[in-house]
Structure 1
Amino acid sequence: MQDDQLLFDFVIVGAGSAGCVLAGNLSASGKHSVLLLEAGPDRTGFWIKTPLGYGHSIVNKSVNWMYASEPEPGLGGRTVPVPRGRIVGGSSAINAMVYMRGTKADYDEWAHDGNPDWAWDKVLDSYKRMENHCVRDAWHGTTGPLQVNSRASVAHPICNAFLEAGDQLQIPRNDDFNGERVDGLGYYHHTICSSAKRMSASRGWLDPARGRSNFKLLANARAISLEISDHAVTGVVYRRNGRVFTARARREVVLAGGAINTPHLLMVSGIGPGAALRKAGVEVRHELPAVGQHMQDHFAYDMQFRSRVPTLNQQLSTWPGRLRAGLQYYLFGSGPLSSGTTHAGGFVKSAPSRDMANLQLYFSPLTRDLEPGSPGRMAQADPYAAFSMGICNTRPRSRGEVSLSSNDMTDAPLIRFNFLDHPEDMAEMIEGVGALRALADAPALQKIIESEYLPGPDVRSDEDLEQDIRARGYSIYHPCGSCRMGPVKDEAVVNSRLKVHQIQGLRIADASVLPFVVTGNLNGPSMMIGQRASEIILEDSSA
């Protein structure tokens, strides 16, 4: 079948974390034909397969959209990198692989706000169907395509001091943040195979789909607009190999481009806030005020400490060290390249007065010379023994937006997070520094800390801490909510069944639909959205 003759039951835009799951499941049903469009390449290679390879991928424009925010007022006018996967597998092919699901309270609040298909009991079943989890109990699935493993056995020994410090502060140990409770400190689980290779959504769901006669993947196919007729979306206009084609859907088009590209495509196609579209020179085809609005992200801040004992810095800061690490991984599937850099962490209250654990902690036996995700070159490990402890507030109150820079899809959208716009976000971060310093002052970490050098022991007052947080804080790359789910058209973009309000033939299935960001990392929830979307779509198509 030629590109210009494409007609499928479902056309999915975006082969990312959610899109791969959705396409794989819909085609596996055998009931429908599925076309999956991806703007980036269909590529695997050393850096993509290798867990620590994300240090390379995150600055590689051939597999990363390399977006950046507009100057952020709350960060002194700094712009913030916004890496997004531009490759089959999407951000699951270039991320740090920490696997989290969020909490029961997160999803039950989604349901309470008018999204009954996303209550915890339904979402938990979807997670279980996805997972082949290393923890074998009632909380986890063990027969799904997604391998989730603990890397505790290969974590750097310095992590033991961090966990022991938690014990000394009576912070509970938690060996499974996706189990019955989320609070406590422990080792993270990662989407890393038992063979020590990255477990992307493409590997889990598309590899089995590639031989199916009812499935077609088109890589390097950039969606540039939606085909709309009488308040119905009938197809997708895309550019491939310098030519423009249209793929049409008998049943539905499903957008899975993520929290940046999905609202961008909608608005360029004339679906969104009318005044903003007209200002950008776009004809309004369907007024939908919430498109691009309500965007959220987890904002992070690190403290760094010189260490009296070796860290990963010594192994990765020199060419001989990197060569040894590469050979160790190539020959034995072990060593620093076999895991991410965030080995341990957890969830704690920023202050005793908080109702629940509102901070996520990250412990890394590595420090680097660049802001994470900075374009231009790979971050290099510092040439001295050091480690970092970081925080992010799990439920930020500040809201941003994605808007148009022009009426052309090839022009990057305008991205504004408005980090720290809400005063409570800053209050939590300042309290979080206190929580990190309490851990650093515990005997277990005091034994190995030579000195705190960022922000430094003299940065103590709330005013000085606020200044440093605004100067050094960064996105942890969890944008979501820009096409949020909800029952009211003027406040949301899709309903509980992921159908775009008051337009036929169009759904959204990616992190943009989150009503609010969940507790923890977002790659697991993004894949779950693809899983749950496939279940909903198959239910609706058989009704």
Structure 2
Amino acid sequence: MFSSDYVIIGAGLSGTVLATRLSEDPAIVVTVLEAGTTSFHDDNTDIPGKFFDNIGAPGKDWSFFSIPQKGLGDRPVFLPRGKNIGGSSLLNFMEYNRASSVEYDCRPIKISETFTYADEQAATYGFQFDKDYYGTSGPLQRCVPRYLDQVALPWIESIKSLGVKANPDPNAGDNTGVWITTATLDRNSVRSSAASAYYEPNQSRPNLKIICGAQATRIILSGKDTLVANGVEYLVDGVLHTINATKEVILSAGTYKTPQILELSGIGDPEVLKSFGIEVAVNLPGVGNNLQVDHVTATFTAQLKPGHETFARLADAEFERMQKDLFKATGRGMLAGVPAAFAFLSFKDLDKDGSIANLVADLSLPTTPVSDVHKQWVCDNTVSFLELSAFDRFIPGSLMSPEAGIDYISSTLILMHPFSYGSVHISASEPTAVPAIDHNYLDNEIDVRILLKGYKLLREIYKTSPLKEHIVTEVNPGAEIQTDADLTEYIRRTLGTTFHPIGTASMLPRKDGGVVDSRLKVYGTQNLRVVDASIIPIHLSAHLQGTLYAIAEKAADLIKEDVQC
């Protein structure tokens, strides 16, 4: 047994940032327990264009599955989560954008980042970023990708011709419209992650320790009324160890694992805990609830006319070698690209006659401030509800496989504010058992109808110049699927996720199902905090990494402030 000032459970994005910031004081010892490995550099991780190869990769991904989903024909859904230093910042597609200022309820958040050459790169595509909204000296690197998919600009022009505005800077408080994203890439177009940006430059600090292969099993608590977190028990190669925390224990295990560890420690809904023979330490029914469906995703694919050079060409070993050599020599070429063309649409953009909004008013949701705000955003033109994107590749998730030698363009339809709410709870008292994850996908008519509107809009976009001149035919869902009933069935058979789960340890008042207070402390405890996406109480119209960097940076400031008090 040994001691550390701070014990952080999880070296994912949030845990890595937090550990790096807290260990800036050489008198403070920070220890991180990470269930995954120490590896955070290899070609699949560092080279942007190979991002799909990381999903489900052994040693990188927890590879969770939901329980069978009634709304998807009792089909379980694959749920990737990063499992190594840097966590999902090594799995994600590197898109970096913010939600609207309405959603953050404040001016756009300034993240600790370095914004590199994005201005001139964006201007090439007709967009302009406002430097007032970007940092210039932080560790995280960010830029506009140096390679843009060949049909991205025709896709953007077709959307604009249908009346969707071009947004010169979606990070300036209003993200509606069509735009080019920035991505977490450095000056050489290499992925910039929590591991490479925060941990790697500081890994030699003697007071910063990461124990890999260490799976936390429970938090050790003592006291009666307000409990003290004394340490953590964890497994390494099946052997149980204990580490003491002299200051705080901080949970950064993510939206799926954080509630599991809380429940294994006796913090949660008494009915859940007692059903598995776990003694109740803190009666906190909100643990594991308020799981917000993580940006559910449907796909649309079309075949391109001959003459395009898309990611399908990487199936040729010689072409891939040439592209890899080009990337490593110059930071350019196809492998420098990530999806960069996006359109974010408000509810009213999709529901022009108000018919779906009328259903929202009558929808039965959990009676919390979250659901009230959720419904209000339907009427706010600055809050995006649907994301569309364009990829020069065939996206997995449809009912067919790509044909060799054929070039494709795909688009995703992503619900940013689904009206489904779910839960994550322990499935057994054994800490190595996987949690029971229930997203309740498509358990309401509104989510289905928004996706139907999205598919119809995409079909219109693909039949509009200049994009239509590049298209041979629609492949998925396919011309044979036309009626709402058939399209709904297709959605239910193919729906996936964009891997942005939140909400299972929400920062809300305790009476409203909250788990942590405004200083991220777990209710009923003195020195146990949660710092990860599980604290976000309502979903955001954004790929979440930017928000999570901000949360981790803010949490570090809060903890340092509390030490000084």
C-alpha separation in 2, matches of 1:76 and 1:324: 44
**Deviation digits for residues 189-223 of structure 1 (CA, Å, limit 9, x no counterpart):** 11111111111111111123212232222222211
The answer to which of 83-92 and 227-236 deviates more is 227-236
Alignment-mate amino acid for residue 213 of structure 2: N
- How many angstroms does 1:99 deviate by? 0.6
Q: Secondary structure at the match of 1:181?
A: coil
Matched, 1:72 2:66: no
C-alpha separation in 1, matches of 2:20 and 2:473: 50
5+ unaligned residues in a row in structure 1: which ranges? 109-119, 373-378
The one of 328, 332, 335 aligned to 1:334: 332
Matched, 1:143 2:128: no
**Deviation digits for residues 416-473 of structure 1 (CA, Å, limit 9, x no counterpart):** 1111112221121111112212211211111111111211233232222211111111
Matched, 1:89 2:86: yes
C-alpha separation in 1, matches of 2:322 and 2:478: 33
Partner of 1:367: 394
Q: Is the 8 A contact 2:8 2:19 kept in 1?
A: yes
Q: Is the 8 A contact 1:367 1:382 kept in 2?
A: no
Q: Secondary structure at the match of 1:251?
A: strand
C-alpha separation in 1, matches of 2:435 and 2:403: 32
Alignment-mate amino acid for residue 457 of structure 2: A
TM-score (norm 2): 0.87
**Deviation digits for residues 502-529 of structure 1 (CA, Å, limit 9, x no counterpart):** 1221000000001011111112222221
C-alpha separation in 2, matches of 1:293 and 1:314: 41
Partner of 1:517: 539
Q: Is the 8 A contact 1:272 1:290 kept in 2?
A: yes
- How many angstroms does 1:175 deviate by? 3.9
C-alpha separation in 2, matches of 1:223 and 1:204: 25
- How many angstroms does 1:269 deviate by? 1.5
Alignment-mate amino acid for residue 164 of structure 1: E
Q: Residues 533 and 382 of structure 1: is their aligned pair in 2 closer, same or farther, counting only changes over 3 Å?
A: farther
Matched, 1:260 2:259: no
Matched, 1:491 2:521: no
**Deviation digits for residues 362-397 of structure 1 (CA, Å, limit 9, x no counterpart):** 11110045569xxxxxx9886411111111121111
Aligned residues: 517
Alignment-mate amino acid for residue 8 of structure 1: S
Q: Residues 320 and 242 of structure 1: is their aligned pair in 2 closer, same or farther, counting only changes over 3 Å?
A: same
The answer to which of 160-169 and 233-242 deviates more is 233-242
Q: What's the % identity of the aligned pairs?
A: 30
Q: Is the 8 A contact 1:313 1:382 kept in 2?
A: no
Q: Is the 8 A contact 2:188 2:330 kept in 1?
A: no
Alignment-mate amino acid for residue 202 of structure 1: A
Q: Secondary structure at the match of 1:124?
A: coil
**Deviation digits for residues 283-341 of structure 1 (CA, Å, limit 9, x no counterpart):** 2222211111111111111111111142424422333333333333233332222232x
Partner of 2:233: 237
CA RMSD after TM alignment: 2.0
Q: Is the 8 A contact 1:370 1:380 kept in 2?
A: no
- How many angstroms does 1:226 deviate by? 0.8
**Deviation digits for residues 221-264 of structure 1 (CA, Å, limit 9, x no counterpart):** 21111111112211111122443221111111110010011111
Partner of 1:350: 350
Matched, 1:427 2:425: no
Matched, 1:446 2:468: yes
Q: Secondary structure at the match of 2:23?
A: helix
C-alpha separation in 2, matches of 1:49 and 1:221: 25
Q: Secondary structure at the match of 1:87?
A: coil
Q: Residues 464 and 386 of structure 1: is their aligned pair in 2 closer, same or farther, counting only changes over 3 Å?
A: same
Q: Is the 8 A contact 1:183 1:347 kept in 2?
A: yes
Q: Secondary structure at the match of 1:154?
A: coil
5+ unaligned residues in a row in structure 2: which ranges? 119-128, 355-377
Q: Secondary structure at the match of 1:10?
A: strand
Partner of 1:124: 109
Q: How does 1:202-221 map to 2 (within 5 A)?
A: 202-221=195-214
Partner of 1:306: 303
The one of 9, 13, 16 aligned to 1:17: 13
Partner of 2:274: 278
The answer to which of 44-53 and 385-394 deviates more is 44-53
- How many angstroms does 1:10 deviate by? 1.1
- How many angstroms does 1:31 deviate by? 5.6
C-alpha separation in 2, matches of 1:96 and 1:154: 14
Alignment-mate amino acid for residue 150 of structure 2: P
The one of 117, 139, 157 aligned to 1:164: 157
C-alpha separation in 2, matches of 1:174 and 1:438: 21
- How many angstroms does 1:498 deviate by? 0.5
Q: How does 1:377-526 map to 2 (within 5 A)?
A: 383-489=405-511, 491-526=513-548
**Deviation digits for residues 38-82 of structure 1 (CA, Å, limit 9, x no counterpart):** 111111222222223332221212111111111111111111111
Partner of 2:558: 536
Q: Secondary structure at the match of 1:400?
A: strand
C-alpha separation in 1, matches of 2:214 and 2:415: 37
Q: Residues 23 and 371 of structure 1: is their aligned pair in 2 closer, same or farther, counting only changes over 3 Å?
A: farther
TM-score (norm 1): 0.91
Alignment-mate amino acid for residue 154 of structure 1: Y
Q: Secondary structure at the match of 1:47?
A: helix
Q: Secondary structure at the match of 1:141?
A: coil
Q: Is the 8 A contact 1:317 1:381 kept in 2?
A: no
C-alpha separation in 2, matches of 1:383 and 1:19: 43
The one of 281, 304, 314 aligned to 1:316: 314
C-alpha separation in 1, matches of 2:451 and 2:331: 38
Partner of 1:117: none
C-alpha separation in 1, matches of 2:396 and 2:516: 41
